[in-house]
Amino acid sequence: MKSKKIRRRLDEAVGADHVVRVVRRTERESRYSGFVLRVGAKWVLMAPLADGGAFDGLIAIRLREVHSVRRDTTFAARAARLRPEWPPSSLVPAGIDLDTTAGVLRTIAAEGELIGIQTDQRLDALWIGLLHEVTRRWVYLHEVRPDASWRDVPLGYRLGRIDTVETGGQYLRGLRTVAGRGPSA
């Protein structure tokens, strides 16, 4: 799908009551179904849905990473309208910046909330942690491991390689509950 058509479909989906299915270029077996909340210069913000139409946090996907956008015709949109979080526009963080990667990282999560990032280097990995610092070219996370233990020092990732940023989902909330406050708290 061409980038102009992708952009048009995403723009049309903002504020609509239908669910879209987004497929990433580098990981075509991964599909994200949800509501498109906002589209910026470089990123799209979605409210992804878990099975059964429950909202599952937020995900920002780099626009250049979007391979295709299609309407999802399952019952998920109807189920989501029955959720207490409806409408999904209420989930958008105030002041979200979707024009730069640094902006997405700084504004997607509330203070003390875990974020997960994926890069184009390792498609099978999701690095999760508390935002420590964002510089001109790097983001540093106080990482929490899958066993809910914290790494001792922040680790850095190149901003230009980050393809997705997520927060607030069930997995991240559960991990945060078990991991506790973390090294920066």
Q: Read off the pTM.
A: 0.94
Q: What is the pLDDT of residue 8?
A: 96
Taking 70 as the threshold, does the pLDDT of residue 119 lie above it?
yes
Average pLDDT taken over every residue of the chain: 92
Question: Alpha carbon of 143 to those of 11, 38, 150, 153, 180: distances in Å?
Answer: 34, 28, 6, 8, 12
End-to-end alpha carbon distance in the chain: 44
